[in-house]
Amino acid sequence: MAQKQILTAVRALAVLSLLTGLVYPLIVTGIAQVLFPWRANGSLLLSNGEVLGSELIGQNFSEPKYFWPRPSAIDYQALPSGGSNLSPTSQLLLEQVRQRENALRTQNGLSSETALPADLIFASGSGLDPHISPAAARLQIERISRERGIQPERIAVLVEAQVEPPQLFFLGEPRVNVLLLNLALDRLK
């Protein structure tokens, strides 16, 4: 009796493993490739056949001539995606936030009274968020204008053109994809 139950369990494991581990993923991947090939392949942005990055994954732009993304607790590495797991009372977290705040104020020439958008100070939960708020993008316009020698008004128009509405027009907040914004900035002469 026990041997029959074990054999039934092993067969069920094999069949379910095949269905859920191979057949189902292949079907879903096939449907995605047919209906949404660009998204299914990582939303990669190309220039002359060279991959510039993914529209879905944040990247580290640290040069003053570029818009800076949201900080990443994992240094923008996709494999260990996640937050820092530091508690709100963590001294290390407080130190990181102060360093980010000081760097933002110094690099952007901001006074201590200027309110900073939270998304430029705190890392996202995934560490790979490709978006910043429109306020975070606007805050960086003056620095980029100085660095590139482009009038701030032209950069402001570019920022406003890159603002994406909430998903389905009601989920979340308006946002700006940093990679797309920086690519548009590079095209601006």
Residue showing tokens 């996709």? 78
Confidence of residue 74 (pLDDT cuts 50, 70, 90): confident
For strand 175-177 and strand 163-164, is the pairing parallel, antiparallel, or unpaired?
antiparallel
One-letter amino acid at 147 equals E
Per-residue pLDDT for 81 more than 80? no
Q: What are phi and psi for residue 88, nearest 5 degrees?
A: -60, -20
Q: What percent of the chain has pLDDT over 90?
A: 72
> What pLDDT score was predicted for residue 85?
84
C-beta of residue 97 within 8 angstroms of C-beta of residue 109? no
Q: State which H helix or E strand residue 24 sits in.
A: helix 24-35
User: CA quadruple 122, 127, 132, 137: dihedral positive or negative?
Assistant: positive
Confidence of residue 48 (pLDDT cuts 50, 70, 90): confident
Per-residue pLDDT for 47 more than 90? no
pLDDT tens for residues 122-151?
988 888 899 999 999 999 999 999 999 999
Helix, strand, or coil (residue 11): helix
User: CA quadruple 69, 51, 82, 131: dihedral positive or negative?
Assistant: positive
Written as six digits, the tokens of 30 are 């096939």
Per-residue pLDDT for 75 more than 90? no
> What pLDDT score was predicted for residue 33?
94
Cα radius of gyration (the chain)? 22
> What pLDDT score was predicted for residue 150?
96
Residue showing tokens 């069949």? 15
Rounded CA gap, 120 and 68, in Å?
A: 8
Per-residue pLDDT for 51 more than 90? no
> What strands lie across the sheet with 131-132, from one edge to the other?
131-132, 175-177, 163-164
- Reported pTM: 0.82
Per-residue pLDDT for 62 more than 80? yes
Confidence of residue 79 (pLDDT cuts 50, 70, 90): confident
Confidence of residue 184 (pLDDT cuts 50, 70, 90): very high
